[in-house]
Chain A
Amino acid sequence: MRSPLRSLSRSLVALAVGLGALTACSASDEPAGDSLVLADPYEDDTLNPLMGFAEDGMSKIFDGLVTHDAQRKVVPALAAEAPKPSQDGLTWTVRLRSGVVFHDGSTFGPEDVVATYRTLLDPAAASPLASSYQMLKEVRQTGPDTVEFRLRHQYAPFPHKLVLGIVPSEKLTGGPLESSPLNTRPVGTGPYRLAEWRRGERLVLTANERYWGGAPAIKRVTVLFVPDDNTRAQRMRRGDFDGTVLPPALAGTFARRDGMTVHGHDSADYRGVMLPQKHPVTGDLAIRRALNFAVNREGMIKALLAGRGTPAYTPVPPALREYADPGAVFRFDPDEAARILDAGGWRTGPDGIRVKDGRQARFTLMYPAGDSVRKMLADAFASDAGRVGIKVDLAGLGWDAIEPRMDRDAVLMGGGTPLDPDLVAHGLLHSSRAEDGFNNPGSYRDEVVDKALERGRASLDPSERADAYRTMQRRLIENPPWVFLVFLEHTYVMRDGWSGYQPVVDPHVHGVLTWGPWWNLEKWRR
């Protein structure tokens, strides 16, 4: 039996330790019920939307004029209503919400919208996002609560571009954005404000009690940066976090754990083999078609991705139901691949590699050396190609080394967004973007595809747009530009006890502070 005196002295010690801890940290301890701890492998270099922070929206700190709902529909945020296009589609008018304040207490108004977008377009500011807004000519205030965007050409998906976070005009003083104080001390209108950012370690957000959409129930969000997958899994198991993103196989180990749930998100995040048209082998249509029949996409998903993924045949994900053409697919059929190669004049040579006009069916496939998923997919692709007599040499390189060779050598590339097919496909496949940086690096040119892409971005009629993108996908099966392999499924582990989770389709860029299971964190509660 424990003596009362001893237990009293114990409680005194505990009290002293507790008081010591309380005085030691200046921040007040929030009750655990309204604070959330998440772990992210990636850390942004900057928190300035004009420098590219959360370019697809959902940033928690900032609001765009619009945002998206769980079905990826555009809904007004800092706009009072949906953006309205003019008759010719060249001007979009946005009426702004009133009574919104920034985290620093200043009032949100049209001058902030104008300043944000003008800085984006200012060459002296050197915003890395400028290329994504090439359609935008100018922006101006046209009334006490309206702004007008003038476009260079008709651009139907323009409302999706209005997710760009709005910053206060007083913080934009001209000059290069790289010296902007917003990079580390962001000021937005979003549901959360930045409380602390210790690089390489953690970022703390606290609720914006004056948020126009209502103060969030979760008052404190701590994001810990833990790059190593195994460390993250270990600490998740120990209960250090309420949630994190993990590779499929590691996430699977949590499936039968009490009090934890694994969520898989479909994504528009494709992986595929870009085939350069200038290479004499990959520039041959028979080779490109045969490769598309020769690769076992389902097998790759099962063997390499723990079953977490969807086969990809074009850059338009099946999740974009209104645009995806269910008929635009390749079946896994190595015999058909062999027939196509035979008909194309590629005969099997003495060493098993096919030959045409004295040239071997052989090319180099580059992949970013640090990316284990791309390396595995590249290995699997090379082995499937080898089975039909096409020899693929692999080269793991850094992007600096890959870029100058992209017009001649194949690359395992990735990307994609579920918001609109134009955002994915135009830069990738339109002939006008051939060899424009990383856009259409293989110089793919197809008149039918070009026409469909132009029709899709110019028309404001949803059914005509859907028709244009379906036409494009069918053409991409006849004249394949790449061998698209998979749309990855992103996997997350979450501790139970929180409500508000709503599944979404992720873009390429995902994680804790953007798209992902915590996209609507401001609506969560315990």
Chain B
Amino acid sequence: MRLRALRRMALVRLAVAVPLLLAVSAVVFLLGAASPFDPIYQYYGTRIFTAAEADVARTREALGLDEPVWRQYLDWLHGAITGDWGISRTFGQPVAEVVAQRLPWTLLLAGAGLALAVLIALALGIITAWRPGGWVDRAVVAVAHSLEGLPTFLLGLGAIAAFAVALPLLPAGGVSDGTGQGGVAATLRHLALPALVLAVAQLPWLILTLRQQLLVSLADDHVTAARARGLPERTVVLRHGLPVALLPFVTTVGTRLPELVTGVVLVEEVFSWPGVAEAMVKAGLSVDYPLLVALTLLATAAVLAGNLLADMAVVLLDPRTVRR
């Protein structure tokens, strides 16, 4: 019963996802065509200053840059369907290779950021809901509300100023030490600041949702009953209150995924993290269609898949959602 519901959910989402991804790719091409940047400058670099007009025109033709947008789009679509994602002009290598080299770094950063955010949110959400009105609760709620309005890049620059410059504890950017030595320990040290910034940027929503839901569920009859039976407070909160509050929390994590994706773009840029999001900024500035489209689709797919997973998790956690 539950399995069938899950499958149906996945199929419906997939049916929506395919036309959506097509539409997104078309929009990227249209936006690229309207962009003021000319990809030929990227291709030539400083060579443009000595290049002859006729040679530049010939290069445009050889690279297919003189074709109308719809033509370029159809060429790209044809390639993408047959598994050829094209060549990234910015990186001078196949798009698949760029993504393969950079995606692990982004997954590491986004995964660490998300895990940190969920763990911290769980801890703080439980503490604040358990003792509402206490000094911890008041402090956390106040800080969370003010963080809601703070842009991620500002948070990143602030973190660099505080922990890399004023107190030189952590490196300000990159993924390894200058000489390229240091291994896993060095990577973890470089991961700490960007992952923390990414987590903190997502925290307010997660903490406030969990706190609110916990406050509601702790007032539920079954919790009152548990308390009346004299169960220890630990058991009451973690076993009786938390499971009910977790459902909306999981949904919130799912809906925050688009924000996480934008957050990764900004954090990678600020911390020179060699992931796909940093590559996306470069691709955008030089109208590198193949890479730009691939990365936009990847981000869209990540959001869709994330939402699907969150909804599936809710179904698995709570059988009531199936009976509708």
Of the candidates A128, A134, A202, A436, the one whose C-beta lies within 8 Å of that of B59 is: A128
Query: With A132-B50, A134-B52 in contact, is A178–B181 under 8 Å at CB?
Result: no
Interface bits A39-63 vs B (CB < 8 Å: 1, else 0): 0000001101001100100000000
Query: With A51-B92, A126-B63, A179-B87 in contact, is A398–B53 under 8 Å at CB?
Result: no
Of the candidates B55, B63, B272, the one whose C-beta lies within 8 Å of that of A130 is: B55
Interface bits A186-204 vs B (CB < 8 Å: 1, else 0): 0000000000101111101
Query: With A52-B47, A398-B36 in contact, is A45–B176 under 8 Å at CB?
Result: no
Query: With A37-B178, A126-B58, A178-B43 in contact, is A199–B91 under 8 Å at CB?
Result: yes
B63: shortest Cβ distance to chain A, in Å? 6
Segment at the interface with A among B130-138, B182-190, B239-247 = B182-190
Within 8 A of A (CB), among B90-127: 90-94, 97
Let me know if A282 is at the binding interface, CB within 8 A: no
Query: With A130-B55, A222-B179, A240-B178 in contact, is A183–B47 under 8 Å at CB?
Result: no
How many Å lie between the Cα of A507 and that of B43 in the bound state?
21
Query: With A24-B184, A25-B182, A400-B36 in contact, is A128–B44 under 8 Å at CB?
Result: yes
User: What residues of B have a CB within 8 angstroms of the CB of A180 in the complex?
Assistant: 92
Within 8 A of A (CB), among B42-61: 42-56, 58-59
How many Å lie between the Cα of A201 and that of B180 in the bound state?
10
Let me know if A275 is at the binding interface, CB within 8 A: no
A178 touches B50 (CB 8 A): no
- For the side of the interface on B, what is the size category? 35 or more
Within 8 A of B (CB), among A362-421: 398-401, 413, 415
Interface bits B146-183 vs A (CB < 8 Å: 1, else 0): 00000000000000000000000000001110111111
How many Å lie between the Cα of A25 and that of B272 in the bound state?
22
B52 touches A131 (CB 8 A): yes
A437 touches B45 (CB 8 A): no
A184 touches B91 (CB 8 A): yes
How many Å lie between the Cα of A41 and that of B176 in the bound state?
18
B180 touches A200 (CB 8 A): no
How many Å lie between the Cα of A179 and that of B94 in the bound state?
7
User: What residues of B have a CB within 8 angstroms of the CB of A181 in the complex?
Assistant: 93
How many Å lie between the Cα of A31 and that of B178 in the bound state?
15
A20: shortest Cβ distance to chain B, in Å? 7
Interface bits A215-246 vs B (CB < 8 Å: 1, else 0): 00000001010000000000100001100000
How many Å lie between the Cα of A123 and that of B63 in the bound state?
11
Of the candidates B48, B92, B184, B278, the one whose C-beta lies within 8 Å of that of A200 is: B278
B51 touches A46 (CB 8 A): no
Let me know if B15 is at the binding interface, CB within 8 A: no
Let me know if A15 is at the binding interface, CB within 8 A: no
How many Å lie between the Cα of A427 and that of B36 in the bound state?
28
Let me know if B211 is at the binding interface, CB within 8 A: no
User: What residues of B have a CB within 8 angstroms of the CB of A1 in the complex?
Assistant: none
A452: shortest Cβ distance to chain B, in Å? 20
How many Å lie between the Cα of A52 and that of B47 in the bound state?
7
Most chain A CB inside 10 Å of its own CB: which residue of B51, B174, B182: B51
Let me know if B67 is at the binding interface, CB within 8 A: no
A176 touches B181 (CB 8 A): no
A482: shortest Cβ distance to chain B, in Å? 14
A437 touches B52 (CB 8 A): yes
A128 touches B45 (CB 8 A): yes
How many Å lie between the Cα of A199 and that of B272 in the bound state?
10
B36 touches A128 (CB 8 A): no
Let me know if B233 is at the binding interface, CB within 8 A: no
Let me know if B70 is at the binding interface, CB within 8 A: no
A183 touches B93 (CB 8 A): yes
B174 touches A123 (CB 8 A): no
Q: Select from chain A the residue with minimum beta-carbon distance to B37.
A: A400
B59 touches A25 (CB 8 A): no
User: What residues of B have a CB within 8 angstroms of the CB of A20 in the complex?
Assistant: 185
A455: shortest Cβ distance to chain B, in Å? 22
How many Å lie between the Cα of A398 and that of B89 in the bound state?
20
Query: With A184-B91, A399-B41, A400-B41 in contact, is A439–B50 under 8 Å at CB?
Result: yes
A50: shortest Cβ distance to chain B, in Å? 11
B181 touches A415 (CB 8 A): no
Q: Select from chain A the residue with minimum beta-carbon distance to B43.
A: A128
How many Å lie between the Cα of A435 and that of B36 in the bound state?
22
B91 touches A509 (CB 8 A): no
Let me know if B38 is at the binding interface, CB within 8 A: yes
User: What residues of B have a CB within 8 angstroms of the CB of A183 in the complex?
Assistant: 92-93
Let me know if B12 is at the binding interface, CB within 8 A: no
User: What residues of A have a CB within 8 angstroms of the CB of B41 in the complex?
Assistant: 399-400
A123 touches B62 (CB 8 A): yes
A55 touches B63 (CB 8 A): no
User: What residues of B have a CB within 8 angstroms of the CB of A196 in the complex?
Assistant: 180
How many Å lie between the Cα of A128 and that of B41 in the bound state?
10
Q: Select from chain A the residue with minimum beta-carbon distance to B42.
A: A45
Residue pairs across A and B with Cβ atoms less than 8 A apart, 10 shown, are A35-B179, A45-B42, A128-B43, A130-B55, A130-B59, A202-B180, A222-B179, A222-B180, A399-B41, A400-B37
Interface residue ranges, B against A (CB under 8 Å): 36-38, 41-56, 58-59, 62-63, 87, 89-94, 97, 174-176, 178-185, 272, 274, 278
Seed contacts A24-B184, A128-B43; 15 additional CB < 8 Å A-B pairs: A20-B185, A25-B181, A26-B183, A35-B179, A128-B45, A179-B94, A199-B91, A199-B274, A201-B175, A235-B178, A241-B178, A436-B54, A437-B51, A437-B56, A439-B50
